[in-house]
């Protein structure tokens, strides 16, 4: 297996740290718009299988050219979702399979954004499924932690824990805190603010068997969810996310939601950004230059990859499932994965959120390399047997858990 990793930021750097401990691949080219950043990631790995290159992820032809130059078999997209389609098309043009951790962007319904879907997450990729299939290639979409591991949990529950599933709810919460130089808590998102604004301010999507996909206003249906391993109760709200668009395609389920424990301060900040237009991606003229307001916000906040030494606490990603157990009895479970920031920094030198995301594309690559996962076209993680993947997480020293009762 020969891999092109596009993106040497927080998640891309953590992918390299995880992959360096595994022997399933021949080479991995780490490519970034900033060549020095790619070289720094490769130098830290100190492994001859890794090399660095410069790439413009917005240019499909550039992606294809670099992939062909290095005889790449698999392209891994570790940049934010605005670059999904050029990388997706570039991989196809180069004859390489493709993996990402976030899918092509949505566009709200022009008249009824809080009732009906417009262009849904992943629609542009699924529209090209036949092209990937005819080329004998796989596009494995949404294989981070959420989406990704949460989708694998849904498949595991359907295959091993339930005879009927009434509802699947992905629930994400944490007790992470970031301290400033004076030791006091500061506002600092632990994941890409560009992506966070996109998913949190777009209308959340819900799936119901009778209605299909529909939308609600942002931050709707608040609930308090009890997270495991000492995190405790966190208020979670509806957020647009890929699992709701993926899980019903492969799992027979009555309802699917995604709820995120953002916290009131974070919600307040996002709402203010929206009200004053700083969430916009369209460029505006400032003096003699044109800039995207959202890019300015991202530039003003600290890089999430640099927060590890100032962070404490744990992050939890998981899938709550309600239905009937194998014998027809009522059952609820919560399948989850927790990463403690102190452990992730000590073990991998990566903060908890980016490491939790990075573990999963590496495990997926290994499952594909060994033949445990096989397929063609555009597929989500639910399309594969969950057991080999979950076994790999244990091998990686980051096991998952199951709590009865939801």
- pLDDT 10s per residue in the chain (406 long)? 999 999 999 999 999 999 999 999 999 999 999 999 999 999 999 999 999 999 999 999 999 999 999 999 999 999 999 999 999 999 999 999 999 999 999 999 999 999 999 999 999 999 999 999 999 999 999 999 999 999 999 999 999 999 999 999 999 999 888 887 777 777 767 767 777 888 788 999 999 999 999 999 998 999 999 999 999 999 999 999 999 999 999 999 999 999 998 777 888 888 888 888 888 888 988 888 888 988 888 888 777 777 777 788 999 999 999 999 999 999 999 999 999 999 999 999 999 999 999 999 999 999 999 999 999 999 999 999 999 999 999 999 999 999 998 7
Can you name the residues that pair with 98 across neighbouring β-strands?
A: 75, 139
Does 142 fall in a domain?
Answer: no
Integer Cα distance of 146 and 59 in angstroms: 26
Integer Cα distance of 191 and 60 in angstroms: 25
Q: What is the pLDDT of residue 234?
A: 93
Both 268 and 171 in one domain: the answer is yes
Integer Cα distance of 264 and 130 in angstroms: 43
Q: Is the dihedral angle over the CA atoms 214, 215, 221, 224 positive or is it negative?
A: positive
Both 60 and 200 in one domain: the answer is no
SS3 per residue for 44-98 = HHCCCCEEEEECCCCCHHHHHHHHHHCCCCEEEECCCHHHHHHHHHHHHHHCCEE
Q: What is the pLDDT of residue 107?
A: 95
Both 153 and 91 in one domain: the answer is no
Q: What is the pLDDT of residue 191?
A: 66
Does 105 fall in a domain?
Answer: no
Integer Cα distance of 328 and 8 in angstroms: 48
Q: What is the pLDDT of residue 301?
A: 79
Q: What is the CATH number of the domain that holds 213?
A: 3.30.360.10
**Number of domains the chain is built from:** 2
Both 231 and 322 in one domain: the answer is yes
Q: What is the pLDDT of residue 187?
A: 73
Both 162 and 77 in one domain: the answer is no
Q: How many CB atoms lie within 10 A of CB 405?
A: 8
Does 50 fall in a domain?
Answer: yes
Last residue of a domain, one of 352, 373, 389: 352
Distances (CA, A) of 237 to 105, 170, 203, 315, 383: 20, 11, 12, 16, 27
Both 233 and 337 in one domain: the answer is yes
Determine contact, residues 152/381, Cβ cutoff 8 Å.
yes
Does 135 fall in a domain?
Answer: no
Entry pTM:
0.93
Strand runs labelled E in 151-217:
164-174, 177-178, 205-208, 212-215
Both 93 and 190 in one domain: the answer is no
Angle between helices 84-94 and 60-69 (to 10 degrees): 40
Integer Cα distance of 252 and 269 in angstroms: 37
Last residue of a domain, one of 310, 333, 352: 352
Both 41 and 162 in one domain: the answer is no
List of residues 6+ apart from 163 with CB closer than 8 A: 323, 324, 325, 326, 327, 328
Both 312 and 186 in one domain: the answer is yes
Both 94 and 226 in one domain: the answer is no
Does 382 fall in a domain?
Answer: no
Q: What is the pLDDT of residue 310?
A: 78
Integer Cα distance of 204 and 115 in angstroms: 10
Q: What is the CATH number of the domain that holds 94?
A: 3.40.50.720
Does 24 fall in a domain?
Answer: yes
Find where tokens 């919600």 sit: 267
Both 182 and 326 in one domain: the answer is yes
Does 391 fall in a domain?
Answer: no
Q: What is the pLDDT of residue 216?
A: 96
Does 285 fall in a domain?
Answer: yes
Last residue of a domain, one of 59, 81, 100: 100
Cis peptide bond N-terminal to 143, omega within 30: no
Integer Cα distance of 388 and 397 in angstroms: 15
Token pair, residue 155, equals 């498949």
List of residues 6+ apart from 134 with CB closer than 8 A: none
Q: What is the pLDDT of residue 186?
A: 72
Both 204 and 299 in one domain: the answer is yes
Q: What is the pLDDT of residue 52?
A: 98
Q: Tell me the residue range of the domain where 338 lies.
A: 149-352
């Amino acid at each position: 297996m020969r891999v092109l990793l596009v993106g040497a930021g927080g998640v891309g750097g953590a992918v390299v740290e995880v992959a360096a401990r595994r022997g399933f691949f021949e080479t991995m080219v780490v490519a970034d718009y900033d060549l020095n950043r790619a070289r720094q990631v490769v130098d830290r790995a100190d492994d001859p299988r890794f090399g660095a290159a410069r790439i413009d992820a917005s240019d499909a032809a550039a992606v294809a050219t670099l992939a062909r130059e290095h005889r790449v078999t698999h392209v891994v997209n570790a940049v934010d979702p605005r670059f999904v389609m050029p990388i997706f098309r570039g991989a196809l043009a180069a004859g390489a399979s493709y993996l990402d951790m976030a899918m092509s962007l949505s566009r709200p319904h022009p008249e009824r954004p809080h009732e009906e879907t417009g262009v849904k997450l992943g629609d542009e990729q699924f529209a090209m499924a036949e092209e990937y299939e005819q080329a004998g290639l796989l596009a494995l979409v949404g294989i981070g932690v959420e989406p990704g591991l949460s989708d694998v949990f849904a498949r595991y529950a359907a295959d091993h824990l339930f005879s009927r599933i009434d509802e699947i709810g992905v629930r994400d919460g944490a007790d992470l805190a970031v301290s400033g130089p004076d030791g006091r808590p500061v506002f600092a998102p632990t994941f890409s603010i560009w992506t966070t604004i996109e998913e949190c301010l777009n209308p959340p999507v819900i799936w119901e068997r009778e209605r299909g996909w529909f939308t609600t206003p942002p931050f709707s249906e608040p609930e308090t969810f009890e997270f495991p391993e000492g995190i405790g109760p966190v208020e979670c709200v509806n957020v647009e996310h890929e699992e709701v668009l993926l899980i019903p395609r492969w799992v027979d389920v009555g309802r699917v939601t995604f709820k995120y424990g953002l916290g009131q301060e974070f919600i307040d900040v996002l709402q203010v950004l929206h009200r004053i237009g700083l969430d916009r991606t369209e460029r505006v003229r400032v003096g003699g230059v044109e800039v995207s307001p959202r890019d300015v916000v991202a530039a003003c906040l600290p890089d999430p990859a640099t927060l590890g030494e100032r962070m404490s606490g744990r992050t939890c990603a998981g899938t709550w499932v309600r239905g009937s157990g194998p014998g027809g009895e009522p059952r609820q479970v919560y399948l989850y994965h927790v990463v403690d920031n102190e452990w992730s920094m000590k073990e991998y030198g990566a903060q908890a959120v980016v490491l939790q995301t990075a573990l999963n594309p590496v495990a997926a690559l290994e499952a594909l390399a060994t033949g445990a996962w096989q397929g063609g076209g555009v597929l989500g993680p639910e399309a594969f047997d969950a057991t080999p993947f979950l076994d790999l997480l244990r091998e990686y020293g980051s096991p998952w858990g199951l709590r009865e009762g939801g």
